Every structure is written in C-alpha cells, then in structure tokens.
C-alpha cells in the first residue's frame, strides 16, 4: 500500500506541474477562439488516448466501461465537468486573466476537501482543519480585495472539484476512462468545427497548427496522471497537493505573461503556503501517513 500511495503521489505531482505550465501553451494559441482550442483538445486527447491504449494492447479495458451503463454515464458527467474547466481556462489565459485562473485552482482544493468530507465522509484532524482555515483566510482575502466576483476562478474551482470527485468514485483504468470521457465530447467538438466551417486554425501559421497538433498529449498525459493519482490518494490529500498547480500558474502569469502581482496576491500566496506547511508537517499522531494506508 505504501508503494501504491507513493506512485499515486508522484503521478499527481506530474499532473499538477504540467497544468501549472499550461498558461504558456494556451497563451501561444491566444489568437484562436477558446471554443476552437477546446474542440481541438477534445479531438486530440481522444486520438492520443486511443493510440496509446492500442499500442499498449489494453483496448479490452474499454469494453467493460462501455457495457456498464452506470459507469459510462458517470464518465459522461465527468467529461462535461472537465470540458467546462478546459474551456474556462483557455479563455482566461487568452484574455489576460491567468492570475484569476490561478486563484481558481487555489480555491479548488477547498472544494475538494469539502466534497471529500461531505460526500465521501473523509475525516480530518484538528491540525488539518486549522490548515484549511488558514488557506481559506488567504483565498478570502484575495476575493475580498479583487475586482468583483471572480466568476472565472469559482467556475474553475467547482468544475474541477466535481471532476475530481467523479473520477475518485469511478473505478476504471486512468487512460481507458479518459478515452471514454473524450469520446463523449467528440460529437460536440465536431459539430462546433463544422458550424464554424473548420474554424480559424486552417488559415493560421504553421506554428499555430504545430501547437494544435500537440493538443492530444498535452491534454491526455496530465489528465491520465491525475486520474491515476486520484484513485490512490485521499481526496483531501489530493486537494492540498493541487496547490502546486496554481503556484506555478501564478509565477508564469507574473514573470512570463506580464500580469500584475498585487499586495492581495502576496497575502494569499503567503497564507496558502503556511496552510500547506501546517497540513504537511509530519506528526506521529497521523499513522495513516506513516504506514501508507492513506
């Protein structure tokens, strides 16, 4: 169990690092409509997952999913949740709101912990609850000192929180589940591109087309890693690990994309990392962490 937990943590770490760097990729595609980029993410992700599944000789993993109506429908629900998340993030980066997007992923772990406690009855120690309270203060400060209701941030937080909960409770292989999820979204992606006459990508430069060609692995790899980690970690642990993603996003937004880092961001950043340190500090009173039963 300890090996399984460690593997899940490494997979989640890889997913969050990839997502943290996504702002660079989608900023480079900022001249295209967000819906068109989303359509290419869906199609590319589905194709990549299908190819990898076939190369690994694991296509038989898909059949039980398709024949189980309940599992297939729940993956359809998770597909809608992640599509909303993808679309909002692409739009936010293209419109100079990468910092607000990073705030959304700071809020997400709170949503994840809440869902884990309410839906899955996961238990938190007093020290963990204090850590969540510190993080909540930091996020609340950012919201109260921001420019109105951060609807992009809230949309990202709740859509991905719902996605994490659904994937936590659907016992399917990570890549096979991703293949079915993207398959649910293919009709919508194709209809959109047909409605737009193929979209703006065909008239774009070779650099843009090359970037779109990477949409498959860029989409599928971190999502598969996340799904793998979600099945092997407590939802509350997964949620707090997620703070790596918005931290990298924030650094990219400020130092690469040139967005303004305010004093409110500084307070939020400091409070969040204090909370993460408090949560992660080793303690003998937490045997589930020591013996790998987490």
Structural domain boundaries, residue 19: 2-290
Cα distance between residue 146 and residue 262, in whole Å: 10
**Which structure tokens are listed for 249?**
């996003």
- φ, ψ of residue 150 in degrees (nearest 5): -80, 75
Q: Is the pLDDT of residue 114 over 80?
A: no
DSSP one-letter code for 203: G
Quick one: pLDDT at residue 37?
A: 92
Cα distance between residue 157 and residue 203, in whole Å: 34
Cα distance between residue 123 and residue 120, in whole Å: 9
**Which structure tokens are listed for 39?**
């359509």
- Share above pLDDT 70 across residues of the chain, in percent, rounded to a whole number: 91
Q: Are 82 and 131 in contact (CB under 8 A)?
A: no
Cα distance between residue 81 and residue 56, in whole Å: 28
Q: Are 156 and 85 in contact (CB under 8 A)?
A: yes
Q: Is the pLDDT of residue 286 over 60?
A: no
Position 146 confidence tier, pLDDT thresholds 50, 70, 90: low
- Looking at the structure of the chain, the number of domains it has is 1
- Which runs of consecutive H residues, i.e. helices, occur in the chain? 2-20, 22-28, 34-55, 62-67, 69-94, 98-118, 126-144, 151-168, 174-195, 206-213, 215-230, 235-241, 244-255, 263-280, 287-290
**Which structure tokens are listed for 126?**
């007093």
Cα distance between residue 211 and residue 208, in whole Å: 5
Quick one: pLDDT at residue 207?
A: 85
Q: Are 90 and 97 in contact (CB under 8 A)?
A: no
Tens-place pLDDT, residues 151-208: 888 899 889 888 888 887 888 887 888 889 999 999 999 999 999 887 888 777 788 8
In order of 22, 135, 184, 195, 229, the CA distances from 189 in angstroms are: 21, 37, 10, 10, 28
Cα distance between residue 204 and residue 210, in whole Å: 10
Instruction: Report if pTM > 0.85.
Output: no
Tens-place pLDDT, residues 242-260: 778 888 998 899 999 988 8
Quick one: pLDDT at residue 285?
A: 43
């Amino acid at each position: 169990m300890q090996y399984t937990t460690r593997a899940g943590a490494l997979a989640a770490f890889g997913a969050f690092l990839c997502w943290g760097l996504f702002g660079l990729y989608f900023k480079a595609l900022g001249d295209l409509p967000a819906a068109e980029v989303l359509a290419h993410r869906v199609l590319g992700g589905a194709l990549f997952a299908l190819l990898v599944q076939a190369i690994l000789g694991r296509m038989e993993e898909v059949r039980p999913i398709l024949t189980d109506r309940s599992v297939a429908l729940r993956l359809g629900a998770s597909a809608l949740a992640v599509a909303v998340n993808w679309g909002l993030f692409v739009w936010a980066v293209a419109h100079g709101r990468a910092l607000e997007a990073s705030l959304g992923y700071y809020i997400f772990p709170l949503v994840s912990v809440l869902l884990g406690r309410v839906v899955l009855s996961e238990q938190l120690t007093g020290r963990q609850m204090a850590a969540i309270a510190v993080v909540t203060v930091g996020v609340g400060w950012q919201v109260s000192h921001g420019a109105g209701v951060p609807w992009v941030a809230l949309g990202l937080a709740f859509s991905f929180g719902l996605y994490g909960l659904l994937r936590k409770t659907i016992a399917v292989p990570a890549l096979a589940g991703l293949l079915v999820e993207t398959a649910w979204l293919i009709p919508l992606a194709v209809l959109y591109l047909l409605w737009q006459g193929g979209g703006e990508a065909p008239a774009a430069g070779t650099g843009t087309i090359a970037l779109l060609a990477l949409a498959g692995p860029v989409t599928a790899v971190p999502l598969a890693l996340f799904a793998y980690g979600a099945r092997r970690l407590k939802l509350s642990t997964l949620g707090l690990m997620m703070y790596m993603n918005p931290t990298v996003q924030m650094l990219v937004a400020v130092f690469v994309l040139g967005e303004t880092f305010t004093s409110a961001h500084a307070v939020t950043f400091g409070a969040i990392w204090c909370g993460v340190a408090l949560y992660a500090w080793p303690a003998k009173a937490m045997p589930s962490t020591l013996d790998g039963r987490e």
